[in-house]
Amino acid sequence: MLRAIHTGLRYAVRSGPLTATLVRAVAFFVFASAYWALLPLVAKELLAGGPSLFGVLLGAVGAGAVGGAIVLPRLKAALGPDRTVAAGTAGTAAVLVALAAVPSQGFAVAACVLAGASWIAVLSSLHVSAQTALPDWVWARGLSVFLMVFFGFMALGSVVWGQVATWVRIPAALTIAAAGAIFGIAVSRKARLNQGEALDLAPSMHWPEPVAPKDIEPDRGPVMVTIEYRIDSADMEAFLAAIGRFSRQRRRDGAYHWGILEDAAEPGRWVEYFLVDSWLEHLRQHERVTGADRAAQDALNAFHRGDGPPAVTHLIAPAAAPLSTEE
């Protein structure tokens, strides 16, 4: 179970499309949480209302979310996911400023309708981006990471904005959160959403079955896999850049250590190596490679100038405890 959890977390860290989604999520939730955390105080202190008004405000948020869901498909078709999230974040910032600047119950209800529409636009776009970034084998674990970020930063933001409101009063806290949301749009703009839609994440199964005895214990390890390349000196810089990018895939799918070395006695002979926890984990790597990974690997192998494909070797630690090295 712990290995499975670690595998899901490792994939989330190493997956570019999912990481971009998580960056956009953090940039939104940490500031949007101010609205949810401070809304009861807004109803009570700024709008001089009570539980009934708070219920009306929440109902307005729900109505805005329903209305936003109806128009969301057309909005996303016109703006795309990145601009939709930016628009929803800007709408949330506008609501925060409106609640801070205009202490009117009717105006607050209208602002909450906008808040609901903005919330559903952002949340739906982020959720779709997270789903399309994940292959089937890690789909549930990847989404759990997304939900952990969602609820975690909502909870953290609630604590922070409650404390900020204690220090500088509610209107100033709302205004600061609005400025932070706009700042979040700017700093996270390079993290593009829905990157996974352009990738073939179906299993490619193009790695050949490793040549090894069938009776290897599944938990035996660690396992070192080496791949030997023959590279022309003119291609060395491009090859190293390509394999450096490809190392992310190795680490993402199970490797806990990766490296590339050149033979000192034979320039141009490069050996890539990576380590995985166990034999079973390496066999699972064979099942995890996708069509997108295959295309990247084909581009990498195009640098190889040897006879036949790059040679692959599997080295495995002894099943028993290692022999003592004491003299």
Ordered DSSP codes for 92-129: HHHHHHHHHH---HHHHHHHHHHHHHHHHHHHHHHHHH
CATH architecture of 223-316: 2-Layer Sandwich (3.30)
Query: What does the alpha-carbon distance between residue 308 and residue 230 come to, in Å, rounded to a whole number?
Result: 11
Domain 2-195 bears CATH identifier 1.20.1250.20: yes
* Sequence-distant (≥ 6) Cβ neighbours of residue 237 within 8 angstroms: none
Q: Which two tokens stand for residue 208?
A: 């050949």
> Per residue of the chain (327 residues), what is the pLDDT tens digit?
888 888 888 888 889 999 999 999 999 999 999 989 999 999 999 999 999 999 999 999 999 999 999 999 999 999 999 999 999 999 999 999 999 998 889 999 999 999 999 999 999 999 999 999 999 999 999 999 999 999 999 999 999 999 999 999 999 999 999 999 999 999 999 999 999 988 888 888 888 888 777 788 888 989 999 999 999 999 999 999 999 999 999 999 889 999 999 999 999 999 999 999 999 999 999 989 999 999 999 999 999 998 889 999 999 998 765 555 554
Q: Which two tokens stand for residue 26?
A: 């953090």
* Cβ neighbour number for residue 70 with a 10 Å cutoff: 10
- What's the pLDDT score for residue 173? 96
Beta-strand pair 257-262/269-276: antiparallel
* Alpha-carbon dihedral sign for residues 254, 259, 260, 263: negative
Q: What are the structural domain ranges in the chain?
A: 2-195, 223-316
